[in-house]
Amino acid sequence: MSKTNQLDQTLFKTPFSREYWKMAAAELKNPRILVFAAIMIALRVAMKPLSIPIAADLFINTAFFVNAFGAMVYGPVVAMVSAAVTDTLGCMLFPVGPYFFPFILTEITGSLIFALFLYRAELTATRVLLSRFCICFFVNIVLNAPIMALFYQMVLGKSYLWFQLPRVIKNLALFPLESVVLMAFLRVTNPIARRAGLSFSQDDQLHFNRRLGVLTACLLVVGSGLVTGYAIYNYNTTSLSSAWTGEQRYSQNCLMNAAILNADQTLSGEDTVSIVESAYSKVGQEDATYTVAVYQVDAAAFAANAQAAKAEDPDADYTMDTLRGYSKTPASKDTSLVRMATATVVADKKTGEIKSVSVEPFQPEE
Q: Which candidate, 334, 271, 273, 268, places its Cα nearest to that of 304?
A: 334
Alpha-carbon distances of 362 from 159, 292, 302, 306, 359, rounded to whole Å: 29, 11, 21, 26, 9
Write the pLDDT tens digit of every residue in 48-85: 777 666 555 556 677 889 999 999 999 999 999 999 99
Rounded Cα distance between 179 and 208, Å, is 9
Q: Tell me: pLDDT of 1 over 50.
A: no
Across 126-135, 208-217, 260-269, least confident range: 260-269
State how far the Cα of 307 lies from the Cα of 234, in Å rounded to an integer.
43
Rounded mean pLDDT of 110-131?
A: 95
All domains in the chain, ordered by first residue: 3-238 (1.10.1760.20), 242-361 (no CATH)
- DSSP H helices in 269-354: 299-312, 320-324, 328-333
| pLDDT given at position 3 | 40
The residues facing 280 across adjacent strands are 289
Number of H helices, E strands in the chain: 13, 6
Q: What pLDDT, on a 0 to 100 scale, did the predictor assign at position 320?
A: 93
Q: CA 74, CA 296: separation in Å to the nearest integer?
A: 66
Q: How far is CA 226 from CA 135, 158, 188, 219, 270, in A?
A: 15, 27, 35, 10, 49
User: 233-248, pLDDT tens digit by residue?
Assistant: 878 888 888 778 889 9
Taking phi over 0 as left and psi of -120 to 50 as alpha, with beta for the rest, 57 belongs to left
